[in-house]
Structure 1
Amino acid sequence: MDPKKRKVDSENRRFLAEWTEEYCFTLPDRPQAVPVCLICNKTVAIVKSGNLKRHYETTHQQFHKNFPLGSKARKEKHQAYLSSYKKSTKLLVRCMSEQEKSTEAALRVCWTLNKHQKPFSDSEIVKESRSNTRRTEILAADIKNTLFELLQKAPCYAIALDESCDIVDDEQMSIFVRFLDIECQIFREELLAVLPLKGNTRGEDLFKVIDEFITKSNISYDKMVSLSTDGAPAMISKEKGVVKRIRDKNLGLISYQCIIHQAALCGKLSATLKEVMESLVKLINFKRSHSALQHRYFKEFLSECDSAYSDLLQHNNVRWLSKGQVIERFWLIKEHVTSFLQNLDTQGARKHFEFIKNKRNMLIVAFLKDILKYLNALNTELQGNGKLICDLIQSVSAFRRKLDIFEKDIARQEFIRFPTILEYKKENSVEDIAVFVKFLADLKNEFATRFQDFAEVSKLSPFLKSPFEVDVAAEWTDVAAKLFNLSKPSLQMEIIDLQEDLSLQMYKTVSTEEFWAKHVPEKYENCKKLAINLATMFGSTYVCETSFSKMHLLKNKYRSRLTDAHLEDTLRICCSSREPNYKKLAQDCRCSFSH
């Protein structure tokens, strides 16, 4: 049998100070360092006096004769050697530090450029020689790896997904994830992936791409608590839709169509209101797009009249707030528009002039201005990152109750909540009032029908927002037990204990997320699980919509060749709620020295 190999590292050898005087060696102050000769800068492999002595006697005999041991000249020479060695090593360390600082600064610049959707080539602004593309890849990889690590530790997560075409008509699916960051004890919304879709975009095609990504990323379907989509047929189809196929993987999955999309669909116009709106849009297009010369004259005319605005707004069906903003602008400069049309001697101008002078048309426009203003206010309230689903449901519920007041206000012709109609001061026919009342009644029915899916979750909102005031015997505990697979008796007992826990009363003023994530102890297991699941759920696909806005800025006609991988990297940086550890990344980068 071969003898065991000797392990020098396990012998724990120490460098003795007197060896510097005797053999002219020193030991650098860094891990796993080996002795260095001060005279010739050569090293020996092992911290052992015999090795140092052998090198000294065989290589530096002349030094021993010129500077005898114990002499003053030898001590001075040692000090000179040590000083020279320390100066050279300090220079090397400083060079390393400067390189790391340079890399760190470059990474910070790259992060800022990507946050503002700037091209990779803009790194030349700060005269960087390294590739901004490579730094973007490093930053995005760090964000992605950290995200996946945090996601593995999270108790549950929710998904919001939507799809849109980029500048070259490539379909891109944006997937966002919301979860509790266990390390920081805060809820995060992060871009999970941007998946390019090649070929068909049917439900089975979308699911295949999603499933491949989730499987490859080692993400568990079982921890997915909810899924929010835009409500497209490919997403919600009962047979082959994405939601149905993901629910096959997780039977307890809760899925919703985006609250903002549903609220926008509720406000669609029909019949007489739609006809008037279309006529108004044609009038605006006539002003802005019929003739460039005419458009310039119109703007000059508004300027001469000291108008509040210099132009009309064009309608865009894709934008949520478009109809209301278009009518708001038109109404504020209506008199100037009328005067300009009156001065034009064309058939088109006369037609639009007759539209404006029609009292019934303007009464409908006045009604639309007021009601769309309310709808736009609701839409704006629903938008934003980090919104709890309970807060979104609360906003919709409040608006539904307001519709009852609006309907009575119109029916009684009081117009207290419709100041534009009141200001118009024209005769209101019974027929016109009937049109407005019918629209409001239809609007109420649309909201009631479309938001049925949120009825169960709305019953849980009081628990999440005000756990100290809820009734433990009420119906909501049955809903909680069914939706999140909880023990109803245990949940009820925990709620009573929580309500009597005086140590938690002092945290009533903190935010809902902070209260449940940071202050409620683990002994309230069922309560905390229920609260975290509710706080994790997406109520809308707003984050996906904002990512598409950024995508269209990033991949524009000047950067149409941006690859799918680089598009995802830049979007990941744009949408990230946390910054990477620049110092660690700079240290990990291999710094190249110039000679």
Structure 2
Amino acid sequence: MSKKRKWDDDYVRYWFTCTTEVDGTQCPQCVLCNSVFSNADLRPSKLSDHFNRQHGGIAGHDLSSHLPAPSHQRETLKALGVASHEDTLLQASYQFAYLCAKEKNPHTIAEKLVKPCALEIAQIVLGPDAQKKLEQVPLSDDVIHSRIDEMSQDILQQVLEDIRTSPLRVGIQLAETADMDDCSQLMAFVRYIKEKEIVEEFLFCEPLQLTTKGVDVFNVLRGFFRKHKIALDVCGSVCTDGASSMLGENSEFIASVKKEAPHITITHCLLNPHALVIKTLPVKLRDALFTMVRVTNFIKGRAPNHRLFQTFFEEIGIEYNVLLFHTEMRWLSRGQILTHSFEMYEEINQFLHHQSSDLIDSFENKEFKIHLAYLADLFKHLNELSASMQRIGMNTVSAREKLSAFVRKFAFWQKQIEKRNFTNFPFLEEIIVSNNEGLCIAAEIALHLQQLSDFSHLYFSVGDLDEASRWILDPFLFNLNFVNDGYSMKNDLAELRASGQILMEFETMKLEDFWCAQLTVFPALAKVALEILIPFATTYLCELGLSSLLHFKAKSRSCFNMSDDIRVAISKKVPRFSEIIEQKLQVQQKSL
């Protein structure tokens, strides 16, 4: 057997780098023409001969005259701007792991599907040499898992660095849900200022091991910040969504947070007015809603009924052939199912007769159809309100304006109902116009709308900004007479209004970005404005994140810890691949 030659850093003077074969054999590769030679050619005479004959080697091309003698092969290649073979293999591995996490795929997909397909394609299209190179890319299940963990930690470090350097306190939103394995998961997002803009980022997803009390949620939140050596004092606001005994204003969570950091502002998610509507429903309307829920569960909860229902509706050519499940957490389905059920009332009634259901008597009641029409109209309005607040970047000012405008409609609707005007309730108006029925429900609807108006202010803390603080929304049209003369920032407001350049910025920028840009010019004004704009108004981001659990926690992955995967999947941060690979190779070199 011939002697195996080894690479020497000095060979880089001939514009060669080293490639390693599967069996560990080192072969020279020309940086200029990418030609790969055998291990027997790994000697100065052969390399110099190729360099002189093929590339006209002269003294000026001798790298030693331009670069200091390297102490390590990788440092020399890095100085030349050439990636080593090990670098490219690692980069390919990390890039695939990143895409795998982004698409929420299982880690085994690379080893079982992607790599075999890539090897077949490479052999057919590019030839055996390309296939040989692809075989060296590490894509095993354990490798992909470790790559995702490393990228997750890098993303987390970027977020933590941003939190530490944020000029103002950050906002947090928290939400909890149970996954398909009955494990309670707590998810958190953070909002902070970076480079003159407000950024929203994923913070963590941690399991609540035993109970889900408010104090357990607080311990997880505090434990996360302590683990990363950040004081909880960095938080300026926390937005929660849940029962008042767990995460609401009467919970142990709020008491614990206030004890640790008294300055923190607690806000409740404004995204779910449906719960308030249910609490204020009169008895007959509540019974109608629960009857519709039982009808839906009768159809959807039993597989034979569901199949028969679909077949029946396909035969008669109805647009909707699937009823959505009613669930407490996915509140939008309640409004959609009421609308669909009213539009398909006669067909559902026929199906219940065909199945001899005991729900027929309640469903055929004339009052039930009238109540169903009103509920469908009301929940449709609620869905439109909630959908308008379902967006990234929603602040408390915009959300309260939308909710306040909606609550003001109750009084207007109430007066119309008292005058027997049902224009804003088209389904209910349809019944009254066609059958001259439903007038008896007018008093009941008016009473319900009055209760909604009264309770909304308490349940959601609905209200506009104080008149003296409305300069935050438009400092140029705001009447300065509303500001007290002793207000220390009145002079700053007057000076800001005199700047034409700042006016142009205000007209072309988002409200949050505008005040972020004023941090260096008018820090006092910007701080007051941003302390109102930074807090979360809803837990919409958590709702999106918790929906991603359906992709990660499947039956075949029930024991899977998804904390790192979900961070890579839904975070806006991109891993710093070059730094990760650099650290990885340094660790490998030290272990040799």
Scaled by the length of structure 2, what TM-score is found? 0.76
Residue 179 of structure 2 corresponds to 166
**Post-superposition shift, 1:381?**
1.5
Deviation by residue 1:103-139 (Cα, 9 ceiling, x = unmatched): 3333232222212221111233431533111110121
Between 1:543-552 and 1:396-405, the stretch displaced more is 543-552
Is the CA contact 2:396–2:536 (under 8 Å) kept in the aligned structure 1?
A: yes
Equivalent residue in structure 2 for 1:141, among 124, 135, 153? 153
- Alpha-carbon separation, structure 1, partners of 2:545 and 2:469: 28
Displacement, 1:392?
0.8
1:277-329 Cα distance to aligned partner (Å, 9 max, x none): 2222223333344561x443332221121111223333222211122111111
Mind listing any 5+ residue stretches in structure 1 that lack a counterpart?
A: 1-24, 31-62, 64-74, 479-487
Deviations 1:391-419 (A, max 9, x none): 11111011011122221222211111111
CA contact (8 A) 1:338 1:356 kept: yes
Of 158-167 and 203-212, deviating more is 203-212
> What residue is the counterpart of 1:107 in the other structure?
94
Give the one of 433, 440, 446 matched to 2:449. 440
Task: Report Cα offsets for 1:496-543 as digits up to 9, x if no partner.
Answer: 11112111111213211221223x252312111112222211112222
**TM-fit CA distance, 1:378:** 1.0
The SS at the match of 1:590 is helix
CA RMSD of aligned residues (A): 3.4
Of 268, 271, 280, the match for 2:292 = 280
Q: Is the 1:263–1:379 Cα contact (8 Å) retained in structure 2?
A: no
Summarize the Cα distance change of 1:280–1:114 in structure 2 as closer, same or farther, 3 Å threshold: same
Query: Could you tell which deviates more after superposition, 164-173 or 248-257?
Result: 164-173
In structure 1, C-alpha distance between the alignment counterparts of 2:210 and 2:452, rounded to whole Å: 38
The number of equivalent residue pairs is 500
State the distance in 2 between where 1:85 and 1:497 align.
64
Shift of 1:447: 0.9
Task: Specify which of 525, 534, 537 is matched with residue 536 of structure 1.
Answer: 534
- After superposition, residues 122-521 of structure 1 pair within 5 angstroms as 122-124=109-111, 125-127=113-115, 129-130=138-139, 131-155=143-167, 156-182=169-195, 185-232=196-243, 233-236=245-248, 238=250, 241-261=252-272, 264-268=275-279, 269-289=281-301, 292=304, 294-342=305-353, 344=354, 347-348=356-357, 351-424=358-431, 425-428=434-437, 431-452=440-461, 455=463, 462-474=470-482, 489-507=487-505, 508-518=507-517, 520=518
After superposition, the C-alpha distances for 1:347-387 in whole angstroms (9 at most, x for unaligned) are 42xx5444444322111111111111001111111222221
Residue pair 1:490, 1:526 contacting (<8 A) in 2 also:
no
CA contact (8 A) 1:267 1:443 kept: no
What TM-score does the superposition give when structure 1 sets the normalisation length?
0.76
Counterpart amino acid of residue 515 in structure 2: W
Moved more, 503-512 or 213-222: 213-222
Q: 1:429/1:549 Cα in 2 relative to 1: closer, same or farther (>3 Å)?
A: closer
Tell me the equivalent position of 1:47. none
Between 103-112 and 381-390, the greater mean CA deviation after superposition: 103-112
**Match of 1:226, SS?**
strand
Contact 1:468 1:499 in 2 (8 A): yes
**2:129 corresponds to which residue?**
none
The residue type equivalent to 1:204 in the other structure is V
Q: What's 2:131 paired with? A: none
- 1:186-223 CA-to-partner distances (Å, cap 9, x unmatched) read 21111222233333333333323322322232223333
Higher Rg of the two aligned structures: 1
- Residue 467 of structure 1 aligns to a residue whose secondary structure is coil
Q: Distance in 2 between matches of 1:460 and 1:321?
A: 37
What is the percentage of aligned positions where both structures have the same residue?
24
Q: Give the aligned residue type for 1:581.
A: R
- Where do 1:88-99 residues align within 5 Å? 96-99=83-86
- Give the direction of change, closer, same or farther, for the CA distance of 1:461–1:306 in structure 2 (3 Å limit): farther
Letter matched to residue 141 of structure 1: Q
> Which residue does 1:34 correspond to in 2?
none
